Amino acid sequence: MSLTSCDPKVIVALDFDNQNAANELILKLDPNACRLKIGKEMFTYFGPDWVKKVVALGFDVFLDLKFHDIPNTVAKAVKAAASLGVWMVNVHASGGPDMMKAAIKALKETGTNRPLLTAVTVLTSMDQNQLDSVVGNIQISEQVKRLALLTQECGLDGVVCSAQEAIELRKVLNNDFLLVTPGIRPIGSKTGDQVRIATPLSALQSGVNYLVIGRPITQATDPLSSLNDINASICHFAK
Ligand SMILES: O=c1ccn([C@@H]2O[C@H](COP(=O)(O)O)[C@@H](O)[C@H]2O)c(=O)[nH]1
């Protein structure tokens, strides 16, 4: 079953080292059925011109470069990302309030059709031990909540978090503040390096806005069928 929606919930993470392989998949996809995410690997190999080509095909593109630097540098970087016509860009919330405020200010100055700006809270590959070795003495759920509230105070559009935190976050954040969640694994798919995972349906039931899904689609024998199955499983949430 294929499903088309004017607000596709699935963002397909294109993590390929081969542009032809990515293009082959993209040509099978429908911008009404999914959005696309281009991350550090593909951006580093294939650059801004390729991003513009994907945008020109009509896809909403999340440029997932997770900027984390001093405010002036990040402000200029998000402005450069906006010039590619992408739908969403992101920074690390742990870069702090001055950096996040500089980034959203720079985007607002680019005009009304600016990309959405989200901030990464705690990577979905991290468990409590990993977090303890970076930031001591705080539970993952608390750290995610702290960074999400800070991100909202700084005026950004949403956060990247795990769907496991969504129910608690929805209690304290504005309804229109976006929750974008990687670590999505349909039942039976390999976890890989993801730790804080959820199924597509349970994520949306928890209040998530967008599902970032890479390998369960891109590494499937039939990626289009995998995407269609996921969309069918969440058709209740399609607008
Ligand atoms: O906390 C985060 C932030 C970003 N990601 C990115 O999402 C995709 C997930 O791909 P899968 O193949 O579905 O695991 C990947 O591009 C990551 O860089 C994340 O996983 N967690």
* Ligand 1 mutation target, pool 37, 144, 212, most atoms within 8 A of CB: 212
The whole-model pTM stands at 0.97
Question: Does the annotation list 65 as a binding residue?
Answer: yes
CB 112 within 8 A of CB 103: no
CA of 19 to the centre of ligand 1 (A): 19
Q: Which residues are catalytic?
A: 64, 66, 69
Q: Selecting from 3.30.43.10, 3.10.20.30, 3.40.640.10, 3.20.20.70, what CATH number does the domain 10-237 have?
A: 3.20.20.70
Distance of CA 146 to the CA centre of its chain: 19
Residues 6+ apart with CB under 8 A from 129: none
Kindly give the distance from the C-alpha atom of residue 186 to the centroid of ligand 1, in angstroms, as a whole number.
14
| Predicted interface score ipTM higher than 0.90 | yes
Q: 122: which DSSP letter? A: S
Q: Is 124 annotated as a binding residue?
A: yes
Nearest alpha-carbon partner for 159 in 107, 91, 223:
91
Residue closest via CA to ligand 1's atom 13 equals 214
Q: Is 132 in the pocket of ligand 1 (CB under 6 A)?
A: no
Tens-binned pLDDT, residue by residue, of the chain (239 aa)? 344 557 899 999 999 999 999 999 999 999 999 999 999 999 999 999 999 999 999 999 999 999 999 999 999 999 999 999 999 999 999 999 999 999 999 999 998 899 999 999 999 999 999 999 999 899 999 999 999 999 999 999 999 999 999 999 999 999 999 999 999 999 999 999 999 999 999 999 999 999 999 999 999 999 999 999 999 999 988 76
Rg (CA), the chain: 17
97 lines ligand 1 (CB under 6 A): no
User: 89 in ligand 1 pocket by Cβ < 6 Å?
Assistant: no
